[in-house]
Amino acid sequence: MFPLQRVVVVGLGLIGGSFAKELKTQHLCVEVVGCSRSQTTRDKALELGLIDTAEGNLEAAVKGADLVLLAAPIGATEALLRKMAPALNGRTIVTDAGSVKGNVIAAAKTVFGEVPPWLIPGHPIAGSERSGVGAAKLDLYRDHRVILTPAPGADQTALETVTRIWQCMGAEVVTMDAEYHDAVLAATSHLPHLLAFSLVDTLSKEGENQQIFRYAAGGFRDFTRIASSDPTMWHDIFIANQQAILAAVDQFQQGLQRFRQAVEDQDSKAMLGAMTRAKVARDHFT
């Protein structure tokens, strides 16, 4: 199976750049093509040795490729698929790294009328609040999970190729239904990011030019690190996974309201019950 001939990475930021770097370091393909709209990003990716060839034109980049990874913000998925479509020959495997999967499936149905068998939607559960080509690094995916959400008609060779490529990068690959993926990630990733953005925004407005942050300690730093994440990427996630995120926010609001009530009532039993349950659950999570 490996090395593949030509693998194209579309979007050379933290996720795409790290994927490209692994491809090259592990010789998983003969040629790594990096596709980005920005000349500066293309030059930087070449300079950092992340890719062999840089291409600004998406259609030209994907022509004859064995595999394409889409690693741009998810709001761009439909436009990228549309632009690539004329160059796809049915043998090129297309996968993606987007944090929401329902929108990739919807985009594919809009562009191709179905989820093509060669499209294997995916999501590496790895990353950080850093972004851009300079953030790319080796081992980003090692010991992390990658979730693939293949459609029922997915080509088995395509699924196996995408699975093996992530495994070569040290990841554990699991497959699941796209709707379940989006509900789980809404609760475990999208809600915490929304809370962190909202908390820091609220406090910075009220804190007169962030003066209060001078008095913040480690807990605040830990809780809000993810508020430094890229706003464009997260905007796209909040748009693409709207329903599941609203459900997670509503559920959280009920828990918050119960906690607020316990504080107002000085209800020690309720407060200690909630915190003990949370501590036990968190202590089991590594």
Contact 100, 121 (CB under 8 A): no
Site for ligand NAD in 86-105 (CB under 6 A): 97-99
> What is the dihedral sign for C-alpha 95, 44, 139, 14?
negative
Is residue 41 close enough to count as binding ligand NAD by CB under 6 A? yes
Q: Number of residues in contact with ligand NAD, rule: CB under 6 A?
A: 29
Contact 84, 58 (CB under 8 A): yes
Of 202 and 232, nearer to ligand NAD (C-beta) is 232
Is residue 76 close enough to count as binding ligand NAD by CB under 6 A? yes
d(CA 90, CA 93): 8
Angle value at C-alpha 131, between 8 and 223, nearest 5 degrees: 140
- Of all residues in the shown chain, the one whose CB is closest to ligand NAD is 13
Of 74 and 84, nearer to ligand NAD (C-beta) is 74
Q: How many CA atoms lie within 13 A of 194 on its CB side?
A: 23
Tell me whether residue 209 is exposed, middle or buried, using C-beta atoms within 10 angstroms of its C-beta: 0 to 12, 13 to 18, 19 or more. exposed
d(CA 182, CA 228): 22
Q: Which of 116, 106, 117, 108 lies closest to 179, judged by CA?
A: 106
Min dist CB 93 to ligand NAD, Å, is 18
Of 92 and 103, nearer to ligand NAD (C-beta) is 103
Is residue 117 close enough to count as binding ligand NAD by CB under 6 A? no
Of 6-14, 113-121, 214-222, 256-264, the window that binds ligand NAD (rule: CB under 6 A) is 6-14
Of 106 and 270, nearer to ligand NAD (C-beta) is 106
Is residue 45 close enough to count as binding ligand NAD by CB under 6 A? no
Interacting residue with ligand NAD among 4, 8, 9, 12 (CB under 6 A): 12
Q: 153 is written with which tokens?
A: 């008609």
Of 30-38, 46-54, 140-148, 251-259, the window that binds ligand NAD (rule: CB under 6 A) is 30-38
Secondary structure letter of residue 134 according to DSSP: G
**What would you measure as the largest C-alpha separation in the chain, in angstroms?**
67
Min dist CB 257 to ligand NAD, Å, is 30
Is residue 38 close enough to count as binding ligand NAD by CB under 6 A? yes
Answer left, alpha or beta for residue 45, where phi above 0 means left and psi between -120 and 50 means alpha: alpha
Of 195 and 203, nearer to ligand NAD (C-beta) is 195
Interacting residue with ligand NAD among 127, 159, 169, 171 (CB under 6 A): 127
Min dist CB 14 to ligand NAD, Å, is 4
Interface contacts to ligand NAD, rule CB under 6 A: 11-16, 36-38, 41, 71-74, 76, 97-99, 123-124, 127-128, 131-133, 135, 230, 233, 237
